[in-house]
């Protein structure tokens, strides 16, 4: 009888490790790092090797960050003045 083989995706395992480590830093009660730059600096002090882009991606998925981040300076909107009559589309 053969034993079952479990295949582990190393990339997904690494992403999970990054997520767990960043959660420990971000949600730690001793301080609140609200920007990706501050989170990057704290992670470097804690001797983690995260890139700033990985931290930005992770931070954008956090609900607490989404609630408290500043609103966008420009929101594009659709102009409805260019709509013509029904016959223009024939």
Q: What is the pLDDT along the chain (90 residues), one digit of tens a residue?
A: 789 998 989 999 988 898 998 888 888 777 666 788 888 988 888 888 889 999 888 888 887 777 767 777 887 887 766 555 555 555
pLDDT at 33: 67
Q: CB-hemisphere CA count at 13 Å for 26?
A: 22
pLDDT at 26: 83
pLDDT at 49: 87
pLDDT at 83: 56
Spatial separation of the C-alpha atoms in residues 22 and 55, rounded to whole Å: 8
User: How far, in Å, are 16, 38, 60 from residue 54 at the CA level?
Assistant: 12, 14, 10
Short-list 53, 64, 70, 45, CA closest to 15: 53
């Amino acid at each position: 009888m053969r034993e079952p083989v479990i295949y582990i995706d190393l990339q997904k395992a690494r992403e999970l490790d990054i997520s767990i480590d960043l959660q420990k830093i971000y949600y730690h009660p001793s301080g609140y790092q609200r920007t990706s730059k501050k989170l990057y600096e704290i992670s470097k002090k804690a001797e983690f090797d995260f890139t700033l882009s990985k931290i930005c991606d992770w931070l954008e998925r956090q609900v607490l960050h989404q609630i408290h981040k500043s609103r966008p300076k420009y929101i594009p909107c659709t102009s409805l003045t260019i709509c013509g009559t029904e016959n223009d589309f024939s």
